[in-house]
Amino acid sequence: MILLSALILGLFVGLGWARWKNQPYQAPPLKSMWLVLVAFLPQLVVAYLPVSRYLLPDWLAATSLSASLIVFVAFVWLNRRLPGMPILMVGLGLNLVVILVNRGWMPISPFTASHLVDGNALQSVSVGSRFGQKDILLLPQDMHFEILSDRFLLPDWFPYKVAFSLGDIFIALGIFWLLAKPASRTEGQRS
């Protein structure tokens, strides 16, 4: 949700900026877009197809999610000269580190998780097991790099409940900047 919001807001600001400057909006000249599809497919299968949760063992799902992030890092590296990409790289790096050291899952504490689901649903999830789509429920003292976990929440008045990490914040800022202030054609083509 946060990343989608950053994408929409960045595009909206970029289109507004172009209109204000009386110029056509130019999408960023991204290289190797096929890597985005390759990186997204494992996440689609693991996190968004309900049946795969029961068909894939957790170790394979965790490995797939880590590999997905590594492919995203490669895509961002290839496009590192574009505005926003260095910020995006920091966010992906932070998420990759915390996921790799926590068995391939993004850690979330029971306290944070309790704000996302009702108490009965949370009681059915034991500490150390998968929670939600890409998280693992861990006590803060059992997490590695707890500060990088899914620990931030949207305000209570917001209708959508989600937890996000410091890395997600950097990723959202990078996406926003990439679309709000796109590079010129020549800037994106330099290596």
Q: Are strands 135-137 and 130-131 parallel, antiparallel or unpaired?
A: antiparallel
**b/e code 160-169 from CB counts within 10 Å (16+ = b):** eeebbbbbbb
Mean pLDDT score across all residues of the chain: 88
| pLDDT at res. 182 | 56
What pLDDT does residue 48 have?
82
DSSP alpha helix (H) spans, the chain: 2-20, 34-43, 52-55, 58-78, 85-100, 110-114, 119-123, 166-180, 185-189
- Is 78 exposed, middle or buried (CB count within 10 Å of its CB: 0-12, 13-18, 19+)? middle
- For residues 129 and 99, is the Cβ–Cβ distance under 8 A? no
DSSP 129: S
Name the residue with tokens 């803060």. Answer: 140
Closest C-alpha among 183, 168, 171, 170 to residue 14: 183
User: How far is it, in rounded angstroms, from Cα 140 to Cα 152?
Assistant: 14
Average pLDDT of span 68-94 = 96
- What's the average model confidence in pLDDT over 2-24? 89
Where are the chain's structural domains? 2-189
* C-alpha span between 55 and 71 (Å, rounded): 23
Q: pLDDT tens digit string along 19-66?
A: 888 888 888 999 999 999 999 999 888 888 877 777 888 889 899 999
Phi, psi at 105, each rounded to 5°: -125, 155
- Which has more confidence, 102 or 56? 102
Q: CA–CA separation, 140 vs 145, rounded Å?
A: 9
CB-CB contact of 99 with 105 (8 Å): yes
pLDDT at 84: 94
Q: Quick check: 191 pLDDT over 60?
A: no
- The secondary structure of residue 160, as a DSSP letter, is S
